[in-house]
Amino acid sequence: MSFFDTEAWRERMDERWFDTGVAMAEAGAVDLVAIEDDKVTAHVTGSVGDLYVVQLWAPAGEGTCTCPGFEKFGACKHQAAVVSAANAADLGKVKDRMARLRDGLALDSREALVERLAELARLQPAVLAALEGRA
Ligand SMILES: [Zn+2]
């Protein structure tokens, strides 16, 4: 059985959006970042190179995306891309990804972690905003 209910997600949006999302997944636009219980988090590269963060609850629960289309319509092709990519993926590997990241971070000293976060904040506006409590 698939992780996501493809038909339920397809019904939430224009069929052309869904098919475009499936094509995006097949073209490698989806980076599956984490699976925690029923929630999948993915980074999806949009058609002009923008990166969007998609969170979906399986099999057919809530879904969010950071793109303007989701804000306007409440559904988007990036969600379809994640449904398609997750159903085709080895989810065990995705499940381990955040655990491996945490294990790697746990090896760093406190000072090294502070330096890494400060460097990320210097180069990544969203990280700076989050660490300053603005987002
Ligand atoms: Zn989107």
**pLDDT one-digit tens code per residue, 62-80:** 999 999 999 999 999 999 9
Q: Give the pLDDT confidence score for residue 1 in this predicted structure.
A: 72
Let me know whether 2 and 37 are in one domain: yes
Nearest-angstrom CA–CA distance, 135 and 128: 9
Supply the pTM of this predicted model. Answer: 0.89
Let me know whether 104 and 47 are in one domain: no
Let me know whether 1 and 18 are in one domain: yes
Q: Which two tokens stand for residue 12?
A: 């939430």
Intervals of the chain under pLDDT 70: none
- Write the CA distances from 119 to 25, 50, 123, 127, integer angstroms: 31, 22, 6, 10
Beta strands in the chain (DSSP E): 30-36, 39-45, 51-57, 63-65
Residue 68 CA to ligand 1 center (angstroms) comes to 7
Domain count, the chain: 2
Q: Give the pLDDT confidence score for residue 135 in this predicted structure.
A: 74
Q: Which two tokens stand for residue 11?
A: 């019904």
Range of the domain at 122: 94-135
Residue 36 CA to ligand 1 center (angstroms) comes to 20
Let me know whether 58 and 99 are in one domain: no
Let me know whether 4 and 19 are in one domain: yes
Q: Kindly report the number of other CB atoms within 10 A of residue 118's CB atom.
A: 13
Ligand 1 ion: Cβ-proximal residues, 5 Å cutoff? 65, 67, 70, 76, 78
Let me know whether 77 and 23 are in one domain: yes
Q: Give the pLDDT confidence score for residue 47 in this predicted structure.
A: 85
End-to-end CA distance of the chain: 38
Let me know whether 104 and 64 are in one domain: no
Let me know whether 62 and 26 are in one domain: yes
